[in-house]
C-alpha cells in the first residue's frame, strides 16, 4: 500500500514537471500547448519528440508517466482532451500557469524573500464562467499585454480550500509601481473583471497571511 502511494506521488510529480517541459518544447517548435489543443491540431510528432527528450533527461519520471498512462499515445490524448489547458477539464494539476514570454519573472518563487517586490491581483470567478475568463487572461498574458504571469486553479480541488470558486492570479513585477499595477487592473476590467478585486503583495503571501475574521491582507483594492 505504501509502495503504491509512493508510485502515485512520483507519477503526480512527473506529470507536473512534464507539463512544463512539454509547453516549453512546443513553444520552441512554434506554438503553445493551449494554441494547439484549441485549434484541434494534430501535434503528436512534436509531442513524441519532446517526450523522448524528457525520457533521455528524466528517465525515472518518464517511466512513472508511462506506468500511469501505459503509452505515449494515451498521455498525448490526455492533453488533447484539455488537461493542463482548460481549468474545468484539468484534474491532475492544482494550477495552470502562463508566463509572459518577454517579461522576466518566476511563476513559482523559490521561497520567502523580504526583498521580493512582486504581487498579484486576485480574481475569483464562478466555475461556469472561469474557463472563458481564464482564456482571455491567459491569451493577454501570453501576448505580453497583461502581467508577468498568470495562473488559475483547476478542477483538482486544493485540500485546504472550501471555496468552490475558481481563483486566477495576475502577477506584477513591483507592487510599489502603482501606475503599472493600476494599468493592469484596467486591462482586467476590459477583459470582463468588473467587480472590485484585491491586490496582494508576495510579502504577505510568504508570511502566511490570509483574510480571516475580517483581517485585511490586500494592499490595493479597485
- The burial of 104, by beta-carbon neighbours within 10 Å (0-12 exposed, 13-18 middle, 19 or more buried), is given as exposed
Q: How confident is the prediction for the chain on average, in pLDDT?
A: 86
Q: Which three cell numbers stand for residue 11?
A: 507519477
**CB contact at 8 A, 21 and 75:** no
pLDDT at position 102 is 77
Rounded to whole angstroms, the Cα distance separating 111 from 17 reads 18
Instruction: Give the residue, 58 or 102, on which the prediction is more confident.
Output: 58
Tell me the pLDDT band of 2, cut-offs 50, 70 and 90.
very low
Give the Å distances, CA to CA, from 110 to 34, 89, 101: 26, 28, 19
Does residue 103 register a pLDDT over 70? Answer: no
pLDDT at position 6 is 41
Rounded to whole angstroms, the Cα distance separating 144 from 103 reads 7
Beta-carbon neighbour count of residue 22 at 10 Å?
A: 22
Q: Of 181, 185, 203, 204, nearest to 194 (Cα)?
A: 185
Tell me the whole-structure pTM to 2 decimals.
0.85
**CB contact at 8 A, 140 and 191:** yes
**CB contact at 8 A, 148 and 105:** yes
Q: Which three cell numbers stand for residue 40?
A: 484541434
Most confident range (mean pLDDT) of 17-31, 95-109, 113-127 is: 17-31
HSE of 189 in the Cβ direction (CA atoms, 13 Å)? Answer: 12
Does residue 107 register a pLDDT over 50? Answer: no
**CB contact at 8 A, 80 and 74:** no
Q: What domains are defined for the chain? A: 2-85 (no CATH), 95-221 (3.30.760.10)
Instruction: Give the residue, 111 or 1, on which the prediction is more confident.
Output: 111
**CB contact at 8 A, 196 and 218:** no
Tell me the pLDDT band of 1, cut-offs 50, 70 and 90.
very low
HSE of 88 in the Cβ direction (CA atoms, 13 Å)? Answer: 13
Does residue 178 register a pLDDT over 60? Answer: yes
Most confident range (mean pLDDT) of 114-118, 134-138, 159-163, 204-208 is: 134-138
Tell me the pLDDT band of 159, cut-offs 50, 70 and 90.
low
Does residue 213 register a pLDDT over 90? Answer: no
Span 58-73, pLDDT tens digits: 999 999 998 889 899 9
Does residue 115 register a pLDDT over 80? Answer: no
Rounded to whole angstroms, the Cα distance separating 222 from 219 reads 10
Amino acid at each position: 500500500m505504501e509502495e503504491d502511494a509512493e508510485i502515485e506521488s512520483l507519477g503526480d510529480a512527473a506529470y507536473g514537471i512534464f507539463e512544463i517541459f512539454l509547453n516549453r518544447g512546443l513553444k520552441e517548435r512554434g506554438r503553445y500547448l493551449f494554441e494547439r489543443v484549441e485549434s484541434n491540431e494534430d501535434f503528436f510528432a512534436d509531442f513524441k519528440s519532446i517526450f523522448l527528450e524528457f525520457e533521455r533527461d528524466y528517465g525515472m519520471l518518464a517511466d512513472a508517466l508511462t506506468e500511469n498512462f501505459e503509452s505515449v499515445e494515451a498521455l498525448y490524448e490526455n492533453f488533447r482532451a484539455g488537461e493542463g489547458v482548460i481549468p474545468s477539464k484539468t484534474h491532475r494539476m492544482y494550477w495552470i500557469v502562463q508566463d509572459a514570454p518577454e517579461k522576466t519573472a518566476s511563476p513559482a518563487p523559490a521561497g520567502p524573500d523580504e526583498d521580493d517586490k512582486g504581487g498579484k491581483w486576485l480574481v475569483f470567478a464562478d466555475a461556469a464562467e472561469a474557463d472563458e475568463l481564464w482564456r482571455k487572461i491567459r491569451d493577454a498574458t501570453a501576448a505580453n499585454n497583461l502581467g508577468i504571469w498568470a495562473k488559475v486553479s483547476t478542477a483538482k480541488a486544493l485540500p485546504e480550500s472550501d471555496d468552490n470558486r475558481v481563483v486566477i492570479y495576475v502577477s506584477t513585477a513591483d507592487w510599489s509601481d502603482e501606475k503599472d499595477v493600476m494599468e493592469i487592473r484596467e486591462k482586467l476590467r476590459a477583459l470582463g473583471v468588473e467587480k472590485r478585486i484585491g491586490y496582494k503583495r508576495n510579502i504577505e503571501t510568504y508570511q502566511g497571511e490570509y483574510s480571516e475574521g475580517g483581517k485585511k491582507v490586500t494592499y490595493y483594492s479597485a
